[in-house]
A and B are shown apart, each in its own frame.
Chain A
Amino acid sequence: MTALQKDRGPGSPVAAGPDAPPDAAPPVRTPRGRGTRRYWWFTPWLYLLAPLVLLVTFTYLPIADMLGYSFTDWDGISPTHENVGAENYTDLFTRPELFKVFLVSGVYLVASFVQIAAALYFATVLSFKARFRNLFKGILFFPYLINGVAIGFVFLYFFQPGGTLDSLLQVVGLHGHHLWLGDPDLVNKSLAGVSVWRYTGLNMVLFLGAIQSIPPHLYEAAALDGANSWQRFRHIIAPSIKPIISLSVILAISGSLAVFEIPYVMTGGANGSETFVIQTVKLAFKFDKVGLASASAVVLLVLILIVTWIQRRLVPEERVELS
């Protein structure tokens, strides 16, 4: 939100206000549509036709279809399918091998809190005077822009037995090869580590934007009161950027439920690294269990909606309402 406001620097539409006729209303918002009613009733629909068709076809229709499929035993190919009631749902929650993907999400969830903490730390450090500020900011953010498959390969090599990580550990005197991706106890932690590597920079940039919109005089007042940097963080920065921290937490939770790319590229879901989405994709496209996969996707969707709903309840948004 703050970042958007910042985009509007000089040359932004607001600044262009004086170009308007002198007798026009001041650049403050006038109520919608008053005095501009010279169009047919269908004019707005001409603009909305394509967007709405796409929206319905690729967002709402799939949800409706998916709900329908989730109560059937459809395999995705045969023209007929049986209604099986809630069987797919009971399968999902009672068959341990289907349910265990949630435990994997737990590992990613823990990692995402590490990631948010690291991002907060670096955002705080980099928002004050520091040498090479922009260089560090750039380096930490760059992983977020890298292609996921490329990241997968980079870390496949990194975690290989005798690979980069093992060699680095050897340099500091920690010998022994670890099966970073082969050991079911380690694999998800290694993969979650890759997520931290990839997303910390994004969170940092979001936090940085928010921190920079804090009025500087607050820091000056705090300095006069003799606040140290922890107190400054605790009493000025943290409360000011609370909305964006809560947004990050939500994104972290829904993100941990929807992990797909990195584990799929790196391990294909082997050794217990299968996530919810990998499982769903496999059920639907490999084992032709569209019914079960749909039920699984519905569960994921509902979980993410619940999480988002809780966030909206806990942290009232300051966002301007639409329309």
Chain B
Amino acid sequence: MTTTATPQTRSPRRTPAPRAALAGAAKYLSLVLAAGVVVVPLVVILLTSLKTGQEVGTGGPLTLPHDWFNLDNYVNAFQQGNMLQAFVNTTIILVVSTAGTVLIGSMTAYAIDRFEFRFKKLVVGLFLVATLVPGVTTQVATFQIVNDLGAFNTRWAPILLYLGTDIVSIYVFLQFIRSIPVSLDEAARLDGANSFTIYRRIILPMLKPAIATVVIVKGITVYNDFYIPFLYMPSSELGTISTSLFRFKGPFGAHWETISAGTVLVILPTLIVFLALQRFIYSGFSAGATK
């Protein structure tokens, strides 16, 4: 994305230089200011996480920690906050629901795009209308259904919900599968491949870029989701990243050094993933959001 030709500013020659310089300065000032607004609250949390309880109590939030390598709070947060359990639970849910989303999304897209069948319009319409229904609005009733299925307070509840309500990834796959030439399917069919072989051997491999998009978007969404695990998995052994961190509010009350360490622990993996996959993340989220 970043490599596409960017429009260049061709400042017309008659623009007086001082005005242009002033505009340039204002532009950078606004950018630096905005970056500051984003970064300062985060840096303060990082600083706080490195302080001792006493330092937090006596100094202001903007003072620097005495010992920059004081990791006691992290150890504390990790152990007492059950963060290990939380990371394990989140990983299980994340892997299963991301894999499932890819499978379900690509199968749906394959069936809709490559077959003619009765009620196709109805099926497409059902998926289409579902994009308009925001998940938060139906939770009251969804809760009863999850309960009836016996999935309440198990890892199945979030997994089923993440699988069942992700229409956006179906769209991403649909958009993409249309650009795969049907002639490829036909060639394989002439060679005697059945529809499943075509799906597995031709469609899935060619969908790789779309799969990457879906995995990234879904992965970050699941990692950050609070609402679903909070409602459906109240038991503390089933804490995810979000709900375990939320529970810091009780026991650590005003121990901001521990809460800050827990917060940094949760943000850190996101930061690493972001730095590693920046390019894909931007395009992934714009593909997901505009559908």
B270 at interface (Cβ–Cβ under 8 A)? yes
Rounded to whole Å, the gap between the CB of A164 and the closest CB of chain B is: 5
Residue of A nearest to B146 (CB): A58
Residue of A nearest to B161 (CB): A58
Once bound together, how far apart are the Cα atoms of A216 and B6, in whole Å?
Answer: 8
Instruction: For chain A, residues 136 to 166, give those with C-beta under 8 angstroms from any C-beta of chain B.
Output: 136-150, 153-155, 157-158, 160, 162-164
| A3, B290: Cβ atoms closer than 8 Å | yes
Once bound together, how far apart are the Cα atoms of A304 and B285, in whole Å?
Answer: 22
B150 at interface (Cβ–Cβ under 8 A)? no
Residue of A nearest to B171 (CB): A322
Whether A146 touches B134, Cβ cut-off 8 Å, given contacts A44-B115, A55-B164, A205-B282, is: no
B154 at interface (Cβ–Cβ under 8 A)? no
Once bound together, how far apart are the Cα atoms of A201 and B35, in whole Å?
Answer: 11
Contact with B along A210-226 (1 / 0, CB 8 A): 01101010011001101
B88 at interface (Cβ–Cβ under 8 A)? no
**Contact with A54, one of B104, B113, B227, B246 (Cβ below 8 angstroms):** B104
| B104, A148: Cβ atoms closer than 8 Å | no
| A24, B183: Cβ atoms closer than 8 Å | yes
Rounded to whole Å, the gap between the CB of A145 and the closest CB of chain B is: 5
**Contact with A20, one of B174, B183, B246 (Cβ below 8 angstroms):** B183
Whether A63 touches B12, Cβ cut-off 8 Å, given contacts A36-B189, A153-B260, A216-B7, is: no
Whether A155 touches B141, Cβ cut-off 8 Å, given contacts A59-B133, A163-B61, A219-B7, is: no
Interface residues on A, range: 35 or more
Interface residues on B, range: 35 or more
Whether A44 touches B141, Cβ cut-off 8 Å, given contacts A13-B180, A20-B181, A21-B183, is: no
| A142, B38: Cβ atoms closer than 8 Å | yes
Rounded to whole Å, the gap between the CB of B50 and the closest CB of chain A is: 14
B107 at interface (Cβ–Cβ under 8 A)? yes
| B245, A16: Cβ atoms closer than 8 Å | no
Rounded to whole Å, the gap between the CB of A42 and the closest CB of chain B is: 9
Q: Which 6 A-B pairs have the closest CB atoms?
A: A58-B164, A54-B164, A24-B183, A3-B286, A47-B111, A33-B116
A36-B186, A122-B31, A130-B28 given; name 6 further pairs at CB < 8 Å: A30-B182, A45-B117, A60-B126, A153-B259, A219-B10, A258-B134
Using a CB–CB distance below 8 Å, which chain A residues touch chain B? 1, 3-4, 6-8, 12-14, 16-17, 19-21, 24-25, 27, 29-30, 32-33, 35-39, 41, 43-45, 47-48, 50-52, 54-63, 65-66, 69, 76, 118, 121-122, 125-132, 134, 136-150, 153-155, 157-158, 160, 162-164, 167-168, 171, 197, 201-202, 205-206, 209, 211-212, 214, 216, 219-220, 223-224, 226, 228-229, 244, 247, 251, 254, 258, 260-261, 265, 277, 280-281, 284-285, 290, 293-294, 297-298, 300-301, 304-305, 308, 320, 322-323
